[in-house]
Structures are given as C-alpha cells and as structure tokens.
Amino acid sequence: MEISQLITELQEKYSEHLIEIGSFGNIQELVCLSVKAESAPLIMRVLRDQFEFTDFISLLVAETPSREKKLRLSAFIRHQLSGSELVIRVDHSITGTDQVFVIPSLSKIWNAATSFEKELGDLFGVFFEGNNYFEKSKKRYLLPDNWEGFPLRKDYVFPMEFLDIPHSRPVGQSEPDEHGFGG
Amino acid sequence: MDLEVNTLKNKQISRWDLDIFSKGSQGNFSLQLELDGDSISAVKADRGYLHRGIEKCFEKSLWFNVMPYADRIESETSVFNELALCLSVERLAEIEVPLRAQYIRIIVCELTRMTSHLKCLAKIAKACGADTATHFLMRDREKILDLFELLCGARFSLNYFRFGGVQSDLSEGFIERVVDLCDSIRLRLKEYNELLSYNFPFLERTAQVGCISKENIFKYGITGPIARASGVLSDVRRSRPYSLYNRIDFEVVHHALPVGINGGSIHDRFMVRLKEIYQSVSIISQLVDSLPAGSVKEVLIQQDFCVPEGESISLIESPRGEFGCYIMSDGSTSPQRIQFFTPSSKVFEILPEVLKNCTLDNFPAVVASLDLSLAEADR
C-alpha cells in the first residue's frame, strides 16, 4: 500500500474528518494525519480494516509547548505487509488543572494499545473509554493507589509528603539530631 | 478477586499469591495464580513497583544531562536506551555522527545484545535445573562486561554515547580483546549447543511448552526474539535499517516451522537467542575488520545545548524487541517531553495468556524465556 495512494483515498472519502496531512516533525517520509477528536475512532477503524494497518507500534502522549495548552496523542501504526508507517494525531485542549480527559479507547481497534493506555492514562489523567482495565479497576496502574494528581502534566505540583514521609528535608535543618543522624 | 477461571480439570482449586518479596517471585511484579491441581487456570499480573518517574526526571533536567537518566531505564542494556535517545535528538537537531563513532556504537550495541541473550539463556537453564550451563553462560557474559569496564569504566549503565558520537575513543587493546572474544564465543556456542540444545531432559522441559501462536504475537504487538521464535520475521535492523545496519551482512534468525506444528515454545526462544549471539559475533567481526580512523565526536555538547523546536522519533532493535524514543522540544535547554516505548510493556500483557494451562514446574522456565525487564516496562 503506497502512502500517497492512501492519502488520496482518505482525502476523497473522509476529508470532513481530517484537519491536516503533513509530516511528523522533520521526518519527511513519516506521514502524520491530524484528525478531529470525535472522528478519530472512525479513521482508525478505516485504516485498520480497509487499508490493513494492523500493527500498533506506540501511543505517544505529550503536552505541546504552545501558548494554547494541548494534550497531543499520536498513534504510531504500521502496515503489516509493506511496513509503511503512519502517525494519527489528535489534540485536546487543556482547560484546567487535574482535568481528566475521556477518550475512546484504541484497544478495541488495536489490542496492543492496551499497555500504553494503562500507563499513559495513569500519568496524564486520560480515561480511555472501553479499555477493560479502566472499566473494571479503579486502581492506579503504575503509581500507588492513593497517589493524587497526574505527574506528567506540566502543571503538576509534587506533594511535600506521602504516607507521612516528607519529600525533602525541611529548610533550615543543618544540625544532626540527638542520635547523630542527619545534618 | 476478579480472576476469570476458564476450565477446571481436577477442580482442586487453590490460589498462590506471588508478591515481589515472596520466595517464588519471578521478578519485580506480582502474580496471583489460580491453580487447578498443579495446572495454572487463571493469572492476574500487576506491575508498577519499579516506576521511578524517569520521564518526569528528563523534563526537570537539561538536554546536556539526560543521558544518565536514559541509561537507568534498563541498566543492563543501557546502550540501547542511549542509542534511541541519540538517534532522535541527532535527527531533530541535524547533528552528524562521525563514521568511526557509528562503528563503535554498533560494536558496543551488539556486545550488549550478546550479554542480554547470554543472561536470558542462563535464566532459562537455571529454571530447568541445568546449573552447569548457567555458570558457563554467565562466565562468558563476564568477559564481555570486562570489556565494557575497559572501555568506559562501567559494567552496566555505560553512559558512553553522546549526542553526535561517543564519549571517547576505544581504549588501547580493546579491539584485540574483542577479536579474541569473538573467536572464543564461536567455540562456546558449539559447547552450549552440545550441552543443552538437544539434551533430552532439557527438551522435555522446554519443547512445546509455553507456546505463543503467531495470532497472539500480532494481537499483542510482540516483537523481538519472542516474535521471531513464533515464526514472525520482525527485526527493525532489517525492515527499517538505522545507523550502519544497511551495510552489514547478517541473517534475521527466526523459527520457520512446518504448518501444524506449534511454534514459539521455550525451546524455540532459547534457540533463536543462541543463534542471534552467533549473528552478533558475525556483525562485530565485520565492523572490526573495517573500522575506519577518525574522530569519535565532532560536536561538543555543553550546558547551553538546545534542541530546535519540534518532534522526532527513533526505532531500534533492542535485545528484547522494538525499542523507541519520542522527543518533543520547545527550543530550550530542557526537554519538553521524552517518551520511551519498550518491548517489555507489551510482553507483560501476554504473560497471563502464556501462563494459562502451564504447570507449576514449567512456570519459572516460561517466565524466564520471556526475558521480561520490569525496569524498562515501568520506567
């Protein structure tokens, strides 16, 4: 499957769902499709079923450095036979601290996305609707169950203590205690 | 407990919780096994015990300082972490790497691949009770670790690659010792083959045990030696050559089975890794024979080093499978985002599937053959 042929067909049939077709960063040979958030499941199913992009490589999540803060999700997929690669990108605006995003799960389309959704959901505060782990378990995946907040967000503030253990030494303590520790 | 129990054979149900500190623990993850007699009927696996927040540490540091953090994602195969990060940054910042440095990088990477495979083979041998082979394999691994110590002072977490090259040129005597090592490893591989590969008790424990079908390989996105042992030709060095791999002659070792035979057993994973060590020796020999003279670093990275604004991604073949690094830069001296995606995260998802219907005596060997690294999975 030639990527140029794929782009032509997508532009013909699904143009209302696409925002932009470009390259991924400065990697000219890696095509990046920016799609609307509500159209992402449709485009992904089309790519898997119609165009045979059945290999899921990675789910990349990052906060963009622009003034309008956005949470950028990029799914990196591959055509099983030809090895052609593609990135599908969805941007979500960040409107508040500790905002939880609800996004349709990719694990229903590509099962290999499960582990990425579990990890990144925990660290970025993304609830992947349809992922069995989020549906059944209310626990954290990588972090302790009673951890608050989403550490990989840019506005995350580290707690000063956890389970009564202080994060760092109090300011001003410079003498060892009565047992000779610290200082 | 919300385990899904599938089929009950003897209906003698018991439960075994293997926490990370328990005696039968197989690594830094917890397992809850539902046992039907001595057969495992359901598995629940949990990880996250080695989550160190390394990706947050990247964002808090400078581009100049990130290499030691990348090292410690997986200390034993640290050069692959470094290489993935270097390739991403060099691509975005358009830094050229001198040819000699590229040769050195691949030599060190292939030596590390050998150490990883030797350790995995030793773990499989130990799980099957073959202690002699375990000691032999670890002894040869020590020789490679001595070479790393000669090269950069460290056995693990080498912190040797830099953006634009490597830290320093090869130590005196390094190449000669690499050539001697390659010759001795070729003989040792024959020894391991005679000792273990077709040894009857070993075959009884490993052949047709812990099979992973091709369908499951594609379903869970598994790559690396596990995929190749199940008959899937998947190797980034061949499909998407990076660095010098388009100039090197090597074979992608995989297990091609006649139709109807279950592939992807412990024995297949053992044999694929054994043959890949031989391929690594061949790659190193080719590079050593044609190692060019020249500098190993042309760009001096200092504290004010900035990566231009943008994104980049790199994908390499680590000893456990496809390993990648995604970076996003805002043009400043600190990374906006560095994300690593590792093969062990996907292998962990298939663990419950593989362990179902295994017996208790085979279960350590199955886990050992998957070569899980929770350090790289949890980061």
Q: How far is Cα A93 from Cα A72, in angstroms, rounded to an integer?
A: 9
pLDDT digits (tens, 9 = 90+) for B294-304: 888 888 888 88
> Can you give the pLDDT at residue A183?
46
Its ipTM equals 0.85
For A10, what's the count of Cα atoms within 13 Å in the CB-facing half-sphere? 27
Q: Is the pLDDT of residue B137 over 50?
A: yes
The residue type found at B363 is F
Q: Is the pLDDT of residue B290 over 60?
A: yes
What's the confidence (pLDDT) of residue B103?
94
Q: What pLDDT does residue B115 have?
A: 95
As a whole number of angstroms, the distance between CA B80 and CA B279 comes to 17
Structure confidence at residue B323 (pLDDT): 93
Query: pLDDT category, A102, cuts 50, 70, 90?
Result: confident
The model's confidence at residue B118, banded by pLDDT at 50, 70 and 90, is very high
Q: Which residues contact A144 (CB under 8 A, 6 or more apart)?
A: A162
Q: Would you say residue B95 has pLDDT above 80?
A: yes
How many CB atoms within 10 Å of residue B189?
17
Mean pLDDT of B115-124: 94
Res. B111: pLDDT tops 70: yes
Identify the three-state secondary structure at position A75.
strand
Sheet of strand B13-18: strand arrangement = B13-18, B30-36, B39-46
Q: For A53, which residue in chain B has the nearest alpha carbon? A: B218
Structural tokens at position B241: 């050559």
What distance in Å separates residue A56's CA from the closest CA in chain B?
6
Q: How confident is the model at residue B9 (pLDDT cuts 50, 70, 90)?
A: low
Residue in the block written with tokens 């034993």 = B76
Question: Does B91 sit within 8 Å of A64, measured CB to CB?
Answer: no
pLDDT-based confidence at B1, cuts 50/70/90? very low
Bridge partners, residue A18, by sequence: A35
Range of weakest confidence among A161-175, B25-39, B73-87: A161-175
Q: Bigger pLDDT: B21 or B214?
A: B214
pLDDT at A8: 82
pLDDT above 60 (res B181): yes
Looking at residue B175, its pLDDT comes to 92
Cβ–Cβ contact B353 with A under 8 A: no
- What the block records as the tokens of A38 is 């509500």
Of the partner residues A114, A116, A143, the one whose CB lies closest to the CB of residue B51: A143
A14 Cβ under 8 Å from any chain B Cβ: no
Q: Among the ranges A95-99, B5-9, B339-343, which has the highest mean pLDDT value?
A: B339-343
The predicted model gives B182-202 an average pLDDT of 89
